[in-house]
Amino acid sequence: MSELHQSSEAHEQSHHVIAVKTYVMIYWVLMALLLATVLASDMPLGGAHLLVAMTIALIKAILIVLFFMHVYYSAPLTWVTAVGSFLWVGLLLGFLLSDYFTRGWLHILGK
């Protein structure tokens, strides 16, 4: 029956065995980024602190998702799932902030 099944190709990909060396390398990159994020928090970056911290966090998250969670070697559907969940958080935050940032714009008499 197995030859009838459609997704055996995706399976081949999902069982890709990643070399230990790759895992360890990713680990050291993560360590470097961790150190960078702590050091950056003490640097005089002005208003860019949040941006820098979030960029580093995002890179770390992407590395974990791509390699530790094997998305890099997975079927497109897994990519869509991973990206989609980030997108939906963005959607919530985006529309939410569109309210909060524009609340003061309209001058209401007596307020």
Partner 1 sequence: MHTPSTTTSPESGRQLLLHHFDDLEQQHLSSNLGMWFFLVSEVMFFSGLIAAYTVYRAWSPEAFHLASRHMDKWLGFFNTWVLLTSSLTMALAVRCSQVGDRRGIVRNLFLTLVFGTAFLGVKATEYRTEINHNLFPGKHFIVPGSPEDPHAHAAEGSHEGGEGHEGAAAHASDYERLREASTVDGKLDEEKFSRNKGHFQLMFVLYFFMTGVHAFHMIAGLALVALFIVLTQIKWFSGYGQTQIEVLGLYWHFVDVVWVFLYPLLYLIE
Partner 2 sequence: MSASAPARHDGPPADYLSESTVKSWLLTVDHKRIGILYLISVTTFFFVGGVIAGLMRLELMTPRGDVLGSADTYNRMFTMHGVIMIFFFLVPAIPAVLGNFLLPIMIGARDLAFPKINLMSWYVYMIGGLMGVYILLHGGIDTGWTFYTPFSSMYSNTQVVTAALAVFITGFSSILTGLNFVVTVHTMRAPGMTWFRMPLFVWSHYATALIMVLGTPVLAISVVLVGLERFFGVGVFDPKLGGDPILFQHLFWFYSHPAVYIMVLPGFAVVSEIIPCFARRPIFGYRFVAFASVAIAIFGFLVWGHHMFVSGQSMYAGAVFSILSFLVAIPSAIKVFNWTATLYKGSIKFDTPMLYALGFMGLFTIGGLTGLMLASLAIDVHVHDTYFIVAHFHYIMVGGTVMAYLGGIHFWWPKMTGRMYSDLWGKLSALLVFVGFNLTFFPQFLLGYLGMPRRYFEYRPEFQVLNVMSTAGATVLAVGMVVPVIYLLLSLRGPKNAGPNPWNATGLEWQIESPPTTHNFHEPVLVTCEPYLYSPEEAEREYAHAQHDHVA
Q: Which residues bind partner 2 (CB under 8 A)?
A: 1, 4-7, 77, 88, 91-92, 95-96, 98-103, 105-106
3-state helix, strand, coil split of the chain in percent (to 5) is 75, 0, 25
Query: Which residue type sits at 17?
Result: V
Q: CB neighbours (10 Å) of residue 14?
A: 13
The residues in 50-89 that bind partner 1, with binding defined as CB under 8 A, are 50, 53-54, 56-57, 60-61, 64-65, 67-70, 77-78, 81-82, 84-86, 88-89
What three-state secondary structure class fits 42?
A: helix
Tokens 């002005």 -> residue: 46
Which x/- pattern over 17-56 shows residues binding partner 1 (rule: CB under 8 A)? xx-x--xx--x--xx--x--xx--xx--x---xx--xx-x
Give the SS3 label for residue 111.
Answer: coil
4 vs 109, beta carbon nearer partner 2: 4
Q: How many residues in the shown chain lie near partner 1 by CB under 8 A?
A: 53
Pairwise CA distance, residues 94 & 75, whole Å: 29
The 8-class DSSP code of residue 104 comes to: T
The whole-angstrom separation of Cα 27 and Cα 63 is 9
Q: Residues in the site for partner 1, rule: CB under 8 A?
A: 1-2, 4-5, 7-8, 10-11, 14-15, 17-18, 20, 23-24, 27, 30-31, 34, 37-38, 41-42, 45, 49-50, 53-54, 56-57, 60-61, 64-65, 67-70, 77-78, 81-82, 84-86, 88-89, 92-93, 96-97, 100-101
